[in-house]
A and B are shown apart, each in its own frame.
Chain A
C-alpha cells in the first residue's frame, strides 16, 4: 500500500478518507504520518477521545487482528505500536484536559526476574486507548512492588506479564500473597505472556489469561462491567 503514499497530502483528505489513510499508515508503522493525521484532526476540532478511538484504536485493532491471523508478525506490530505511541503522545494531555470517559484502572507489570516488556507495553497502550487508566510498573517486579502499587492506586485490575517459563510461576506468588492478605477479591487479576495458556491462568488463580493485547482489552472491559454490575446490585 505504500507506493502511492508519496503523492497523498493528508490535509487534503476529507475526514473519512483521512481516518482510512491513518489506518493504512498505522498498519505500515508510519509514525510521522500518524502524528500529522492526529494534528490535522485536532485542527478540524475533533475531540481527542474520538481521534484516539476512531483513528488510532480502530487502526490498531486491524493490526491486532492480522497479527492473530498470522498475516503480520512482531516487527510490524512493534512499528505500528510505535506509530500509535506518537499519536498517543499528542493526545494524552488533551484527553486529561477534556475529561475523556474512564472505563477503569489497571496496575500492570512484568514479574520478578523478567525484563521482557514488549507484550506488556502493547497491552498498556491498548488499554489506555480503550479508556483505562494504566499504571505501568515496568519490568522485574517483586511481590512487594505489586502490593504497594495496589494499595496506592486502588485499581480495578492487576495485570501481570512474563515471557519465560522460569519466571511465570512468580505470578502465583503474587496471587497467593493477595489471598493470604485477604485482598484477592479486591482486584480482577489478568495474566499474559508467550508461554502462558488458559490452564496455567486457572491453575495459579488468575481471573483470566489474555493471549494478546486485544483480548486483554476485551477481557478487562467484560470483567470491569461485571464488577460494576455486582456493586450496583
Chain B
C-alpha cells in the first residue's frame, strides 16, 4: 500500500490523524498504515487515529505509561477510546492499566499473534518457537528495530549470540508487495535464518477494530 506516512516518523514520533471522529484509536506506530487501510476499506469514518512512536516496541517497559498519558489527554474529546496494542511485552501491565482506565485493547500477546489470528498463533506456537517474526512495518524498518538496537551495525559478530537459537524468519505479510518480500528475504539472510513468507492480511486487528 502506498502511503504518505513516513516510516521513520512513525518509528520515532508517532502519528496523528484526528478530526471529528467520535472514537479514537490509540495505536502503536507500527500499525498506522494498517489501521488507515482498514478504515478506508471499511468506511470507518467515525474513527480517529493517534499513534505512539513505534520504537516503544523496543522498550516495552515504557508502553503502559505512554498509553495512559495518551488516554488521559484525549479522554474528554471522545465517546470511546480503543487501544491498538496487545500485551506487547508489558507482562500484563498494559491490560491492568486499560482496565483501570476503562478502555478496551487488542487481545493477545503481540502483533505477530493477532496478525496471524490469536487462536491460530497459539496453535502453532508450540512448534514454531524458533521463528523470528517480521511484519510489513518491521521489514521496512528492519534497521531501526533490529540492526541498530541490537548493535549489529557496529558489532555484526554479536549476531549468533542473539539469533543462534532461531531457525527461520517468518515474514507475516499484511499486503502483497514483491519489494517487501525481497527485502524480508534479505533480512533473513542477514540474520542467518531460513525464510518463510506467510500472508496474514490484517488478522484479528480487523476483528478487534470492527467492535469500535
* Interface set of A (CB-CB < 8 Å, partner B): 73-76, 78-79, 82, 113-118, 139-140, 164-168, 194-197, 200
* CB pair A164 B109 closer than 8 Å: yes
Q: At the interface with chain A, which of B136-144, B154-162, B173-181, B189-197? A: B154-162
A residues less than 8 Å from B109 (CB atoms): 164-166
Given contacts A75-B155, A113-B125, A114-B129, contact A82 B165 (CB under 8 A): no
* Known A113-B126, A115-B166, A164-B109: A75·B154 in contact at CB below 8 Å: yes
Contact between B150 and A79 (Cβ–Cβ < 8 Å)?
no
**Does any Cβ of A come within 8 Å of B92's Cβ?**
yes
Smallest CB separation, A111 vs chain B (Å): 11
* B interface with A by C-beta (< 8 Å): 60, 87, 89-93, 109-110, 125-126, 129-130, 149-152, 154-155, 158, 161-162, 165-166
> A166: which B residues are within 8 A, CB to CB?
109, 125
Option from B92, B93, B150 in Cβ contact (under 8 Å) with A74 = B150
Which label, helix, strand, loop or mixed, suits the secondary structure of the A interface?
loop
What are the 10 A-B residue pairs with the smallest beta carbon separation, nearest first? A75-B151, A115-B165, A195-B91, A113-B129, A166-B109, A165-B87, A165-B109, A195-B89, A78-B158, A78-B161
The CA-CA distance from A76 to B150 in the complex, in Å, is 9
Known: A74-B150, A78-B161. 6 other contacts (CB 8 A): A115-B130, A116-B165, A165-B89, A166-B125, A194-B60, A195-B60
- Whether A195 touches B129, Cβ cut-off 8 Å, given contacts A75-B154, A78-B158, is no
- How far in angstroms is the closest Cβ of chain B from A199? 9
Closest chain A CB from B61 CB (angstroms): 8
The CA-CA distance from A115 to B162 in the complex, in Å, is 10
Give the residue name and chain of the A residue nearest to B163 (CB): A115
Give complex CA distance A18, B60 in Å: 40
Q: Given the complex, which residues of B lie within 8 Å of A74, measured CB to CB?
A: 149-151
A76-B91 contact in complex given A115-B130, A165-B109, C-beta closer than 8 Å: no
Complex Cα spacing A79 to B110, Å: 29
B131 to chain A, nearest CB (A): 10
* Known contacts A74-B150, A165-B91, A165-B109; is-contact A117 B158 (Cβ 8 Å): no
A197 and B91 contact, Cβ closer than 8 Å, known pairs A75-B158, A79-B158, A118-B161:
yes
B87 cross-chain contacts in A, Cβ below 8 A:
165
Contact indicator A73/B91 (Cβ below 8 Å): no
Q: A116 to B126, alpha carbons, bound, how many Å?
A: 15
Assuming the A-B contacts A114-B129, A115-B166, are A194 and B89 also in contact, with contact meaning beta carbons closer than 8 angstroms in the complex? yes
